[in-house]
């Protein structure tokens, strides 16, 4: 279903400081501006009742994906986004005339409200805790694999863990492929659940990676899918995310905070190296113009204190 609606996105070389080259998968070029459309198309095409109303909660990108997937498949979608959601994503939803409900001060509150709406009549489609969404997200790895030699490392952003879980399942019978997940340090729900062996509540601070922020839905399948399969889950700070956005912009790529965390981890030296090819997924471009301008206007501290590296 995903291949029937979406063309494969480009994979391009990206040179890091020091001359290290990685491959970047540009899912920032998807029609809705993020990889989330993959999972939404897979999930909505698998609904048992074709006329059912779809309900979802999102910081923005999953909502955009549900609305677009529903339009393509002739369905109705209601999406719940918190008041603190990205201005760029809210504006995009309004341009699409989405059935949009703005509720709550964070993702957790929006998700609870969406679940209540679905209980009253609808099919809830989680951004991460859904087997069809997980399978759909894995298609990025299948598209990228043709250009990867053995011994590859795949670097993916991690919020609820649907993308990570799908990538890990795809890589399960490929022992020469390692998968590294990257969280925002401000929101580490998935790694906490993997460590604890169950879903646990974690503090969530404001972050540029708004699409990765929030706690996990009770009963989430993603921690169990990640446990024992993921090579590492690392975290990046807000300053490191900003640096990655600036680095990508200087490379000609507009990428939002959630989409830039993989590059942030690479720039910070947090991705365990094995000498093989590294492919990093740039998951989205939906960053507000004002936020991007503010980030671009702030110099990197390492460059400011080491002029010879400019």
pLDDT tens digits for range 92-105: 999 988 999 999 99
**Torsion over CA of 141, 143, 146 and 152, rounded to 10 degrees?**
-20
pLDDT at 146: 77
Query: What mean pLDDT is predicted for residues 49-60?
Result: 88
Q: Which domains does the chain carry?
A: 2-33+132-303 (3.40.50.1100), 36-129 (3.40.50.1100)
123 pLDDT more than 50: yes
pLDDT at 270: 97
Residues 242, 265 contacting (CB under 8 angstroms) = no
pLDDT digits (tens, 9 = 90+) for 200-225: 999 999 999 999 999 999 999 999 99
Task: Measure the CA–CA gap between 261 and 256, rounded to whole angstroms.
Answer: 9
pLDDT at 301: 62
| Residues contacting 143, CB < 8 A, separation 6+ | 8, 9, 11, 25
pLDDT at 145: 86
pLDDT band at residue 308 using 50, 70 and 90 as cut-offs: very low
Q: Of all helices (H) and strands (E), which one includes residue 259? A: helix 257-267
């Amino acid at each position: 279903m995903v291949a029937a609606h979406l063309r494969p996105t480009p994979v391009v070389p990206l040179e890091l400081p020091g001359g290290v080259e990685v491959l970047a998968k540009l899912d920032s070029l998807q029609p809705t501006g993020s990889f989330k459309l993959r999972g939404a198309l897979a999930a909505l095409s698998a609904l048992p009742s074709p006329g059912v109303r779809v309900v979802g909660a999102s910081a923005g990108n999953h909502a955009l994906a549900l609305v677009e997937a529903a339009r393509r498949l002739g369905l109705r979608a209601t999406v719940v986004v918190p008041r603190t959601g990205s201005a760029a994503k809210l504006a995009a939803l309004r341009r699409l005339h989405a059935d949009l409900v703005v509720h709550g001060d964070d993702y957790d509150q929006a998700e609870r409200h969406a679940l209540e709406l679905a209980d009253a009549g609808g099919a809830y489609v989680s951004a991460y805790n859904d087997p069809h969404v997980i399978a759909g997200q894995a298609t990025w790895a299948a598209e990228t694999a043709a250009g990867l030699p053995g011994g590859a490392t795949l670097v993916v952003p991690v919020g609820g863990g649907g993308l990570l879980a799908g990538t890990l399942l795809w890589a399960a019978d490929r022992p020469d492929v390692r998968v590294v997940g990257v969280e925002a340090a401000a929101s580490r729900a998935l790694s906490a659940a993997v460590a604890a062996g169950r879903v646990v509540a974690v503090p969530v601070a404001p972050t540029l990676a708004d699409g990765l922020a929030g706690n996990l839905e009770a009963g989430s399948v993603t921690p169990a899918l990640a446990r024992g399969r993921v090579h590492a889950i690392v975290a990046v700070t807000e300053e490191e995310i900003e640096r990655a956005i600036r680095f990508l912009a200087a490379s000609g790529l507009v990428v939002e905070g959630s989409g830039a965390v993989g590059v942030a981890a690479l720039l910070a030296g947090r991705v365990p190296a094995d000498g093989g090819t590294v492919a990093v997924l740039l998951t989205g471009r939906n960053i507000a113009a004002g936020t991007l301008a503010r980030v671009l206007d702030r110099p990197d501290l390492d460059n400011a204190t080491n002029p010879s590296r400019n």
